[in-house]
Structure 1
Amino acid sequence: MCGAVRFTARDVPSHFGACHCEMCRRWTGSALLGVTVPEESVAWEDETHLKRITSSHWAERGFCDQCGTGMFFRVTQEGVWSGNIEFPIGVFDDPNGFEMDNEIYIDHKPDSFSYAGEGRKLLTRADCVAKFSVLGDG
């Protein structure tokens, strides 16, 4: 929001997903609309104001210590999802051109909103725990 934390990213996919889990909803005020970028494709211009918080025993979230903007979610535990950074699409200078292709924790989505479009992959909490075993650890 304030520009104190800046990054460039290469190899950014054109698709993104929505996470409706309680933690993401509380962090963003809605769902996390995030795009997964390989960590080696990200270059931080200046990390002075980038702060990190351990949000679970297997992940962290980054934010700007000047304005509070949530910058990323990152799995810290070794496994299938390590090595990637999940960026909210709103932190990109140009958030246009992305297409939503999945929603996770769909059974935790508040009934007060829904997204337009069809053809997305939908996973419940149970589906996510089965697919990503680290989620079942607590």
Structure 2
Amino acid sequence: MSTISLKTQCLCKKVSINVAETKPHVDSCHCSMCRKWSGGPFLAIDCGTEVNFEGHEHIKVFSSSEWAERGFCSNCGTHLFYRLKEANQYIMPAGLFDSLDGLESAEFTTQIFIDEKPRYYDFVNKTKMMTGEEVFAAFAGDK
């Protein structure tokens, strides 16, 4: 699978982001925290660990769990990332990127926390669907 580099800015342009490599697919999280944070299902791109930010003084971080934190611009409120602390892995909103050059053929591949998805919406895409228990089993690792 090929990878693509991306660049973007928050709404007020005080924070700039360069992503070295991302996989060409979009995923969705339906957990209650992501829905509260994003106002709906969190449509996201796995941007890996090589993400560089300019305008650090405008980035505020909220530790939303023991294993993850969420970052946003303190000036305009743009949601910037969900970061897995231990792996330093950035999951970023798909809508954050003005241009998804190289991702035109990106596929919607996986939905997680499907057991927490409210009944008032459904995606028609055929995707892998994982419950919260399945997500923790797959990604928690041996501790």
TM-score, normalising length: structure 1: 0.85
1:46 aligns with 2:81: no
- For 1:116 and 1:6, how far apart are their aligned partners in 2? 33
Task: Provide the secondary structure at the position in 2 that maps to 1:11.
Answer: strand
Of residues 19, 32, 38, the one that matches 1:28 is: 38
Matching of residue 85 in structure 1 with residue 90 in structure 2? yes
Alpha-carbon offset, residue 107 of structure 1 = 1.2
| Displacement over 4 Å in runs of 4+ | none
Higher strand content, 1 or 2: 2
**Aligned-pair CA distance for 1:133:** 2.9
Superposition deviation, residue 47 in structure 1? 1.4
CA distance in 2, matches of 1:61, 1:23: 10
Point out the more displaced range, 87-96 or 10-19.
Answer: 87-96
- Counterparts of 2:95 and 2:80, CA distance in 1: 9
1:62 aligns with 2:71: yes
1:54 aligned partner, one-letter code: S
The within-5 A match list for 1:1-138 is: 1-40=11-50, 42-76=51-85, 78=86, 82-95=87-100, 97=104, 98-118=106-126, 120-133=127-140
Q: Distance in 2 between matches of 1:9 and 1:65?
A: 21
* TM-score, normalised with respect to structure 2: 0.82
State the 1:84 CA deviation.
1.3
Counterpart residue identity of residue 86, structure 1: I
- Give percent identity, aligned residues only: 36
- Give the aligned CA root-mean-square deviation in angstroms: 1.5
Tell me which amino acid in the other structure corresponds to 2:133.
A
State how far apart, in whole Å, the 1-side matches of 2:70 and 2:79 are: 7
Shift of 1:46: 2.1
Q: What is the letter of the counterpart of residue 121 of structure 2?
A: F
| Distance (Å, rounded) in 2 between the aligned partners of 1:83 and 1:57 | 13
